[in-house]
Amino acid sequence: MFDFGVIDIHAHIFPPLAGACGFRDVETHRLHQQRAMHVHGNQPYRRRRDNAVTQLRPLWSPQDPSEAGRATDVDFRIGRHGRFEWTKDGEDYYVQFLPPYMEDLSAPAETIVRQMDYAGIVTAVLQNDHIYGNLAEDFAAASSAHPGRFLGLAQVEEAFAFEDRELTGLIDQIDRLGMAGLYFTTTGLFRNGYRTLPDDPVYDPLWQEVAKRDVPVFWVHSANSPIGTYEDEIRHLSRIVERHPALRHVLVHGVPTALYADESERIALPPLLDRLLREAPVFAELLYPIAWGGRMAYPYPRALNHARQLVETYGSNRLLWGSDMPNVERYCTYAQSLRYLADHADFLLAEDTRRIFRENALSLFPRRAVTALANAAD
């Protein structure tokens, strides 16, 4: 299908999620997981006894986005077979966050490598969300065990990322462990109640260290959060772009084109986002199956229409294919998350395909990382 090695810009490996997974203790990890399941909206909450969908959202106070808003009477826990579970008023509930085959909610490096082999993926960029743990050590070990197959991203506690402890940890992850980018999710700001946002000058030491090490920032933004709308979040990113022009940025999960499509499916992005994609060093993932796979049939014609409009409007130079493996397999196979675009996007020219599935990823990372990726992909 390809005459070059495909790079997946968005994948995960992780140990069983019931453990501390690189955090100082299980409780800190569980705090992040409970908050993540509270804000997660792609998969519904279900009542365990009959699998009925429920609208109850008891994991966190809607009035308090800080740590103090965490519900402590729900026995939030890691279930089996891809589920996070809790109990409210004697009733058990769950969300099917991962595929049901994931019995202990783990994705070992060896398993993901074999999945990559089967799907035809040469290299995967490992994103480092708090749900899965603080995994730079695991990523480094996986990269050593499987040369050229993985490239890891560093992680910080976003709410405190300007503090010396977090900066020291970030530098260690990049310099010693070889992480090639920084994963930054604005949902992590719940730990300070969203009192300080990443474009505040207090964060400048963080962005200066990232720029000094020539690594990109992978951003997870929300469409509705204590920061505001998606456009509000992008406004904060724009200020960082202006103050730190050497930084490169990736919009994890891509542009939420559904927010900006009219009834005829014509997309018109807000002027600020439009300008960033045209003029700034801002890239966007093409990652539709994980977001839309539960609401439409393969090969996702609406997603292909939106991807076509992005390519026609902004070109292919800023777009990166990703899967969100293994999560995506709650909707489709790893191979299908690649082939819906590779086989059915007839609007892609050969040079577009090569950029989206390989070259743009190579352009993102520092030379030391690119050398390893290029050698594996050729």
What is the rounded distance in angstroms from the CA atom of residue 126 to the CA atom of residue 180? 10
Share of the chain above pLDDT 70, in %: 98
Q: What is the pLDDT of residues 43-86, one digit of tens each?
A: 999 999 999 999 999 999 999 999 999 999 999 999 999 999 99
What pLDDT shows up at residue 366? 86
Report the pLDDT averaged over residues 96-102: 98
Q: Nearest 5 degrees, angle CA 15-CA 19-CA 25?
A: 130
Q: Give the distance from CA 351 to its chain's centroid.
A: 26
Structure confidence at residue 372 (pLDDT):
64
Q: Is the pLDDT of residue 376 over 60?
A: no
Beta bridge partners of 54: 45
Instruction: Check residue 175 and give its pLDDT.
Output: 97
CA distance 290 to 306: 15
β-partners of residue 184 are 219
Each residue's pLDDT tens digit, 193-247: 999 999 999 999 999 999 999 999 999 999 999 999 999 999 999 999 999 999 9
Q: What is the pLDDT of residue 371?
A: 73
Q: pLDDT tens digit string along 105-138?
A: 999 999 999 999 999 999 999 999 999 999 999 9
Q: Please state, for a pLDDT cut of 90, what percent of the chain lies above it.
A: 95
Fold of 7-14+106-377: TIM Barrel (3.20.20)
**Exposure pattern of 165-201 as b/e (b: 16+ CB <10 Å)?**
ebbebbeebbeebbbbbbbbbbbbbbbbebebbbbee
Residue 4 has pLDDT above 70, yes or no: yes
What is the pLDDT at residue 370? 73
Which DSSP category does 44 fall into? P
Q: What average pLDDT does range 139-153 have in this prediction? A: 97
The reported pTM is 0.97
Q: Distance between terminal CA atoms of the chain? A: 15
pLDDT of residue 375: 60
* Domain boundaries for CATH 3.20.20.140 within the chain: 7-14+106-377
C-alpha 135/C-alpha 350 separation (Å) is 36
